[in-house]
Structure 1
Amino acid sequence: MKKIIDYILSIIYLIHFGLTLLVFHVIQIIAFNVFGKKVHKVAVDYLNFFLTFGLYLTGANVILRNLTDLPNDRPIIFVANHQSTFDIPAVIWLLRKYHPRFVSKIELAKGVPSISYNLRKSGAALINRKDGKQAITEIARLGKLIQDEKGSAIIFPEGTRTASGIMKPFVAGGVATLLKRAPDALIVPVAINGTGAFNPKGIFPLKSFSKLSWTVLPGIEPSGKKVEDILEEAKTAIQNILSKE
């Protein structure tokens, strides 16, 4: 019976998901080209609001928590574990005040309604994993951007999704490059839990009545610390949250 419910609710949510991407793709194009970047950002925020809270259509328990006060006068590098494609909408909505730009694989810059358009227009770092020089250049550009704007970036230092919930080692290269160009940045861990189990077999079927949580943790001052030590501290903080849930 539970499997039948999973299939029915998955179909309902995925119809909602697809229609939301299509509708907001048009809205984004109009917002960006007619009204400019600020209105485009608002459109992106509400795209991710509908994607996130649409998860209730699957019976999910969606928990968004911020356990710290974040500064407005310095750059921020959000460091998150990565379990699923479904990690991202809630992160964008939860952190919308800070307008985080993603470090993303370049393949996502084409072919996905709404998402590809936003990646191209938002200033995200679009990296080619087969071209190390290009990847470093893109991440460095993003680092300078958040330093100049006192903005924020978000990176998944595992480098890939881990649906099992068991985190892979955090790779230092991307964060090190961001910090080199944004030396004033605060490192802020974000713990994401439950999304891997939510779609264990790919995008269909989804697991109904899942508990999904996103938690922003206290920041880590990077001054005087090695990047590897910063990431180990961030990983431990994230693991502590995952272990409690």
Structure 2
Amino acid sequence: MNKFFGYIFSPIFYLFFFLTLIIFQPIQWVSYRLFGYKAHKTSVDILNFFLTYCDLFLGSSITFRNDHDLPLNRPIIFVANHQSMYDIPALIWFLRRYHVKFISKIELTKGIPSISFNLKYGGGANIDRKDSKQAISEIIKLGRRMKENTWSTMIFPEGTRAKDGKLKSFQVGGIATLLKVVPNALIVPVAIENSWKLVQYGSFPLSFGERLRWTVLNPIEPDRRNPEIVTLEAENAIRTKLNQVIQA
């Protein structure tokens, strides 16, 4: 039934999703060019509110849970699993207080209404995966912006989307690089559930009636510990939430 209703409701979802992207392209441009970072960020927040709730056209439920009083005066490295492109709007909207930036493929900075503009001018890091020196340099620059502005960053350490929902082992590189620049950053795991099910049949039809959940887990104090240990701790926290603990 999820697939059957997906054929009916996916066109409605795509219509509103892409219409939102097109409408907010000029809004972002005006906000950034005439009023600067703060206005641009507000426009991006509102954009992602609408993108998040476009999921309702697919009969999805949206649950974002954050029971933690996270600091606003300290950079945060949010660490999440990654299941589909539909993970991201809710992360931006519900964590908007923390000025969350993303590490993205440089290819995404062209050709996508609203999204490409935000990636270019929103303050994140756009990396060339074929050029490790450029990638590290961009992440270091992002770390400096985090430090100067008390911004936060969202990292997907799996390196790619888990299309079947099964958590891949986390890579430590991005987290280690940021911690070198911002050693006082707080590590906060975020578990994402069921986003992969939206695209289990591909881009069409999208699955109807999925229960989408984002859960902010207990913060982790790095305390200048080895980044591998901190990364593994975040991975295990997410595995536990997803009930995907690897048995020894």
Q: Shift of residue 108 of structure 1?
A: 0.6
d(CA) in 2 for partners of 1:36 and 1:171? 35
d(CA) in 1 for partners of 2:56 and 2:201? 20
Structure 1 residues without counterparts, runs of 5 or longer: none
d(CA) in 2 for partners of 1:190 and 1:24? 27
Partner of 2:99 in structure 1? 99
Cα contact 1:60–1:210 (8 A) shared by 2: yes
Q: Shift of residue 103 of structure 1?
A: 0.7
1:89-125 C-alpha deviation (Å, 9 max, x unpaired)? 0000011001111011111111110000001111110
Aligned length: 244
Cα contact 2:72–2:97 (8 A) shared by 1: no
**Matches of residues 1-245 of structure 1 in structure 2 within 5 Å?**
2-243=2-243
d(CA) in 1 for partners of 2:155 and 2:2? 35
Q: 1:83/1:138 Cα in 2 relative to 1: closer, same or farther (>3 Å)?
A: same
1:150-196 C-alpha deviation (Å, 9 max, x unpaired)? 11011111110002111111100111001111111001101111011
Q: Shift of residue 2 of structure 1?
A: 4.7
Give the letter aligned to residue 12 of structure 1.
I
Q: 3-state SS of the aligned residue for 1:170?
A: coil
d(CA) in 1 for partners of 2:156 and 2:88? 11
CA RMSD, 1 decimal: 1.2
Cα contact 1:75–1:186 (8 A) shared by 2: yes
Give the fraction of aligned pairs with identical amino acids, expressed as a percent. Answer: 52
Give the letter aligned to residue 105 of structure 1.
K
TM-score by length of 2: 0.95
d(CA) in 1 for partners of 2:18 and 2:223? 43
Give the letter aligned to residue 130 of structure 2.
K
Cα contact 2:2–2:207 (8 A) shared by 1: no
d(CA) in 2 for partners of 1:201 and 1:124? 31
Cα contact 2:87–2:195 (8 A) shared by 1: yes
Structure 2 residues without counterparts, runs of 5 or longer: none
Give the letter aligned to residue 123 of structure 1.
G
